[in-house]
């Protein structure tokens, strides 16, 4: 079941980095949603390798094909299968890692779990799997858009360069105006510098994606185990390289007193329920309260580096390994559409689940 996500708006992904294709089956999308391959492609293009000189120079088109679930441009309520063929699946030589376990990769753990692994480019553990998530997320985002919900992820930290502005001061329309996807141009420039430096030293660097979800009505989310932020957390933590998740006041909020942290309710002039502060991050008791939802996602530095590293092989012997090929010096710019996609999938699921709350 580990390849399925969601309760009512459910996706099942498949595919290895160097198999014939990666893809996804969406089950549970309501009938009547207008969606096209072109709209899905837009999301995939934001994730595509080779989009700038601070991402991997691999050239892949990642062109999506819709195999089922649409009729005359609209969803029919049946499963939507989306497939992206892998280009050049045989282009590389992976014999150097056939028996060696790359440090901080999943080579060793897959072998421990399954007794085997597809060693070509990481196989199923490759971030190439997120192609499927981004494709499915585009369908979810279209569903949300119809309900006025928007999702804006952006890079807020690369290495030690951190965007400290409150999100309300940012112009999200500028997120894609630079290659690092930080809506603040000055900070973006410094981030790019850090990435280039890492790339030039044959190294990699980590960072943080922040995300703001707006337009969510009060009442989405489930109490107890499937709290809205618990599912957001799981969804984000399931993305390759993620090490942490916090929402609202997060880890900093633990230093506050209740009297400082509590968000007082008031009614605005239009009669809407609002809170004067939003330490809650738009979620109380696991359920949305109508205020903005915002959260941070920590990404570790990419494990593949183009330097020699000590490790062991599957016979337990020490070996030296050096990354080959074309890799991202920093995953952050391409992580933004993945965070957006997972957030959309979580929200779409809860939107459907909320239909069951009342008689």
Structure tokens at 52: 């700038």
- Judged by CB, which is closer to a copy of itself: 116, or 173? 116
CA dist 160 and 345 (Å) reads: 30
Asked if 258 is part of the footprint of a copy of itself (rule: CB under 8 A), the reply reads yes
Query: What torsion, rounded to 10 degrees, do the Cα atoms 247, 5, 237, 13 define?
Result: -140
| One of 38, 90, 160, 186 touching a copy of itself (CB under 8 A) | 160
Structure tokens at 285: 């008791």
Asked if 193 is part of the footprint of a copy of itself (rule: CB under 8 A), the reply reads no
CA dist 101 and 92 (Å) reads: 18
Q: Are 166 and 184 in contact (CB under 8 A)?
A: no
| 285 belongs to an annotated ligand binding site | yes
Determine which helix (DSSP H) or strand (DSSP E) holds 351, and give its type and residue range: helix 332-353
- Judged by CB, which is closer to a copy of itself: 88, or 171? 88
| 303 belongs to an annotated ligand binding site | yes
Number of residues that bind a copy of itself (CB under 8 A): 153
Binding region for a copy of itself (CB under 8 A) out of 48-56, 168-176, 272-280, 333-341: 272-280
Asked if 157 is part of the footprint of a copy of itself (rule: CB under 8 A), the reply reads yes
Cα–Cα distances in Å, from 103 out to 29, 121, 314? Answer: 40, 14, 13
Asked if 304 is part of the footprint of a copy of itself (rule: CB under 8 A), the reply reads yes
- Judged by CB, which is closer to a copy of itself: 58, or 105? 105
User: Among 121, 126, 133, 124, which Cα is nearest to 23's?
Assistant: 133
Asked if 37 is part of the footprint of a copy of itself (rule: CB under 8 A), the reply reads no
| One of 95, 177, 238, 322 touching a copy of itself (CB under 8 A) | 238
User: Among 72, 44, 4, 73, which Cα is nearest to 141's?
Assistant: 44
- Judged by CB, which is closer to a copy of itself: 127, or 170? 127
User: Among 8, 110, 92, 13, which Cα is nearest to 56's?
Assistant: 92
**Which residues are CB-neighbours of 174 under 8 A, at least 6 positions away?**
183, 184, 185
Binding flags for a copy of itself, 84-113, as an x/- string (CB under 8 A): -----------------x-xxxx-xxx-xx
- Judged by CB, which is closer to a copy of itself: 261, or 326? 261
| One of 42, 57, 87, 114 touching a copy of itself (CB under 8 A) | 114
| 301 belongs to an annotated ligand binding site | yes
Look at phi and psi of residue 290 and say left if phi exceeds 0, alpha if psi is from -120 to 50, else beta. left
Asked if 121 is part of the footprint of a copy of itself (rule: CB under 8 A), the reply reads no
Binding region for a copy of itself (CB under 8 A) out of 39-47, 89-97, 173-181, 196-204: 196-204
| One of 152, 175, 178, 311 touching a copy of itself (CB under 8 A) | 311
CA dist 205 and 207 (Å) reads: 7
Annotated binding site: 47, 124-126, 240-241, 285, 300-304, 326
């Amino acid at each position: 079941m580990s390849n399925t996500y969601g309760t009512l708006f459910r996706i099942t992904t498949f595919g290895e980095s160097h198999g014939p294709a990666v893809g996804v089956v969406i089950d549970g999308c309501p009938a009547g949603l207008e969606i096209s391959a072109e709209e899905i492609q837009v999301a995939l293009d934001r994730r595509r390798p080779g989009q700038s000189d601070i991402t991997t120079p691999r050239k892949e088109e990642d062109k999506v094909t819709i195999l089922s679930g649409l009729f005359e441009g609209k969803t029919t309520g049946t499963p939507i299968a989306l497939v992206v063929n892998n280009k050049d699946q045989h282009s590389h030589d992976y014999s150097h890692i056939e028996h060696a376990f790359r440090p901080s990769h999943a080579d060793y753990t897959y072998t421990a779990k399954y007794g085997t692994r597809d060693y070509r480019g990481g196989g199923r553990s490759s971030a190439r799997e997120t192609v499927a998530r981004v494709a499915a997320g585009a369908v979810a985002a279209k569903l949300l858009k119809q309900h006025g919900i928007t999702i804006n992820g952006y890079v807020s930290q690369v290495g030690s360069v951190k965007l400290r502005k409150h999100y309300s001061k940012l112009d999200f329309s500028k997120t894609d105006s630079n290659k690092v996807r930080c809506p603040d141009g000055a900070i973006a420039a410094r981030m790019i510098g850090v990435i280039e430096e890492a790339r030039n030293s044959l190294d990699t660097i980590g960072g943080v994606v922040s995300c703001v979800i707006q337009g969510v009505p009060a009442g989405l989310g489930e109490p107890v185990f499937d709290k809205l932020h618990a599912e957001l957390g799981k969804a984000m933590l399931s993305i390759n390289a993620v090490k942490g998740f916090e929402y609202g006041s997060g880890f900093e909020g633990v230093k506050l007193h209740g009297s400082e942290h509590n968000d007082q309710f008031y009614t605005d002039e239009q009669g809407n329920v609002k809170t004067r502060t939003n330490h809650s991050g738009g979620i109380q008791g696991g359920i949305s309260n109508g205020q903005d939802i915002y959260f941070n996602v920590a990404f570790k530095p990419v494990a593949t580096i183009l330097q020699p590293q000590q490790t062991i092989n599957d016979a337990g012997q020490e070996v030296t390994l050096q990354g080959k090929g074309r890799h991202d010096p920093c995953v952050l710019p391409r992580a933004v559409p993945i965070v957006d996609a997972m957030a959309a999938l979580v929200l779409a699921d809860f939107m459907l689940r909320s239909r069951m709350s009342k008689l």
